[in-house]
């Protein structure tokens, strides 16, 4: 039986992406969805190559991958970091400039999975201690591709922000929001309070 070169290279890319996702500590469901590998293959791959990546032990997160975008608005830091990740994804053309509301879901392909990994690795190089995981990165990229709930935008200070499409149109970055809050709490001399 002769294996074609195309099939061999496609299978090699699937395993390569699977190993890359294991090393980025992706959940099994995420790896299965983006590579097409079975849970058995993922466990075998993890035991053979991913359990010890260099000197660090790769942890396997359990449970269902994140599926709600409200994670990105829990804190100002997370919102800012998500905007950085989204900006990197946009620069690498992982996220389209004009979201397509007709797209029902993020198209899953090996190339797209590799592109999301590249964007996340670059993001993680700049912000290594972020609470945003690779699973969150896939969630964010999918949401930005559709553009129903979230999109990229600009603050009044020209900073890149993550815009919640379900909130009022004028949204600001964490820095401007904090500045406006401080200004509203500071008593003014016009009020006669000192």
Q: What is the mean pLDDT of residues 19-30?
A: 92
Check whether 10 has a pLDDT greater than 70.
Answer: yes
Where are the extended beta strands (E) located within the chain?
A: 52-53, 56-57, 150-154, 160-164
Q: Provide the greatest CA pair distance for the chain.
A: 90
Q: What is the mean pLDDT of residues 106-131?
A: 91
Assign 57 to helix, strand or coil. Answer: strand
Q: Higher pLDDT residue, 167 or 137? A: 137
- Compute CA 153 distance to the chain's CA centroid, rounded to the nearest angstrom: 16
- How confident is the model over 66-85, as pLDDT tens digits? 888 889 989 989 999 999 99
Which pTM value belongs to this model?
0.82
Burial class (CB in 10 A: 0-12, 13-18, 19+), 112: middle
pLDDT grade, residue 17 (50/70/90)? very high
| Arithmetic mean of pLDDT over the chain | 83
Check whether 128 has a pLDDT greater than 60.
Answer: yes
Check whether 194 has a pLDDT greater than 50.
Answer: no
Q: Higher pLDDT residue, 92 or 101? A: 92
How many whole angstroms separate alpha carbon 165 and alpha carbon 107?
22
Can you give the pLDDT at residue 16? Answer: 92
Give the end-to-end CA distance of the chain in Å, rounded to a whole number.
Answer: 88
Q: Which two tokens stand for residue 49?
A: 């190559």
C-alpha pair distances (Å), 13 with each of 19, 33, 43: 10, 14, 17
Q: Which residues contact 81 (CB under 8 A, 6 or more apart)?
A: 123, 127, 130, 131, 132
Which residue has tokens 């999975």?
A: 113
How many whole angstroms separate alpha carbon 107 and alpha carbon 28?
19
Can you give the pLDDT at residue 1? Answer: 45
Can you give the pLDDT at residue 171? Answer: 78
Q: What is the mean pLDDT of residues 164-176?
A: 78
């Amino acid at each position: 039986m002769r294996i074609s070169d195309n099939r061999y290279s496609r299978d090699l890319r699937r395993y390569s992406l699977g190993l890359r996702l294991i090393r980025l500590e992706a959940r099994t469901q995420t790896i299965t969805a983006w590579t097409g590998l079975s849970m058995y293959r993922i466990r075998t791959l993890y035991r053979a190559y991913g359990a010890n990546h260099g000197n660090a032990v790769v942890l396997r997160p359990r449970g269902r991958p994140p599926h709600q975008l409200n994670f990105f608005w829990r804190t100002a830091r997370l919102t800012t970091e998500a905007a950085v990740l989204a900006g990197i994804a946009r620069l690498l053309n992982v996220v389209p400039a004009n979201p397509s509301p007709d797209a029902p879901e993020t198209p899953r392909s090996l190339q797209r999975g590799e592109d999301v990994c590249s964007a996340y690795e670059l993001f993680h190089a700049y912000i290594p201690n972020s609470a945003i995981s690779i699973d969150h990165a896939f969630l964010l990229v999918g949401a930005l591709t559709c553009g129903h709930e979230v999109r990229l935008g600009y603050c009044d200070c020209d900073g890149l922000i993550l815009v919640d499409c379900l909130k009022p149109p004028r949204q600001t970055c964490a820095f401007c929001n904090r500045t406006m809050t401080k200004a509203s709490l500071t008593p003014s001399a016009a009020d006669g309070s000192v």
